[in-house]
Chains A and B, each alone.
Chain A
Amino acid sequence: MIQAASIDTVMRTLADPTRRAVFERIVRSDEITVVELTRGSGVTQSAVSQHLRSLKQAGLIVDRAQGRNVFYSAEPKGLAPLFDWMSHYAVFWRDRFAGLETLLKEIDP
């Protein structure tokens, strides 16, 4: 299955601390270039580029070229394989309880 393969890929990709740091910075930015990512990272630009390639292959980030720049941004769907039923229902029930409150006000004003 595609999903089973990708949970492994996602895990493997994020196991590297430097790559994870790069990913976290992308997550915190709207869009960011390789130059900005390299600044203050303590690694070379080519190392950062390498990590960007891996992150892109794992579906965790997307890029957008504009002129001579490439902008990277996080792809929330990339982490989807890590979502499990339990996190799904934790959100589901909290949300539905709010809906129940609204419904009760309607049927029992």
Chain B
Amino acid sequence: MTAAALKSDTKEIVVERVFAHAPEKVWKALTTAELMGRWLRMPNKGFAPVKGNRFTYQTTPAGAWDGVIHCEVLDVRPNERLVYSWKGGDASNVGYGAPLNTVVTFTLAKVEGGTRLSLVHSGFVLPTNETAFKGMGDGWQKVVPSIGEIAGEQH
């Protein structure tokens, strides 16, 4: 694994789940400002399910970054698809709070017994070797053994 090979690499997070509710209900939870705030557990300002709409989320600040996520609705197909940009961070931060220029795509599909909701959060630019840190999502203890490989590669 070389630094050059990873430099322009972007990664995405994919989460899928079938909810025992009709697409219309899931859509409502995804696109009603008040409901969004409840399940995302952070308030938004100015959301409307209209292409070109700009809104913000307020999350935890870090260093020079005020914790505001700037979003713009890129695509809306009622009960099927919602796409918005998700930008924030500050160049002076490393890790949480670092610059972030990503896109969030929700896709809904009617399936037997409910709705399959798929979330793709794309555009993560990973610093060299950062890929190996993904396991940290599962708890920091698990990642300790892999740090060696990564740290070793830097020498």
Give every chain A residue within 8 A of B28 (Cβ-Cβ): 107
One of B21, B41, B147 near A82 (C-beta < 8 A): B147
Chain A residues numbered 59-109 whose CB sits less than 8 Å from any CB in chain B: 76, 79-91, 93-94, 96-97, 99-104, 107-108
Contact with A along B14-33 (1 / 0, CB 8 A): 01010111100110110000
One of B29, B98, B102, B144 near A27 (C-beta < 8 A): B144
Stretch at the interface among A8-16, A32-40, A43-51: A8-16
- Across chains A and B, the number of contacting residue pairs, with CB separation under 8 Å, is 132
Tally of chain B residues near chain A (CB < 8 A): 51
- A13 closest partner in B (C-beta): B151
Chain B residues numbered 134-155 whose CB sits less than 8 Å from any CB in chain A: 134-137, 140-141, 143-145, 147-148, 150-152, 154-155
Which residues of B line the A interface, CB within 8 A? 11, 13, 15, 17, 19-22, 25-26, 28-29, 35, 38-41, 63, 89, 92-96, 98, 100, 102, 117, 119, 121, 124, 126-127, 130, 133-137, 140-141, 143-145, 147-148, 150-152, 154-155
Q: Which 9 A-B pairs have the closest CB atoms?
A: A90-B137, A15-B151, A87-B136, A99-B39, A100-B39, A108-B25, A87-B137, A86-B124, A103-B39
What are 7 A-B pairs at a CB distance below 8 A? A7-B95, A15-B154, A79-B140, A84-B98, A99-B40, A101-B19, A104-B25
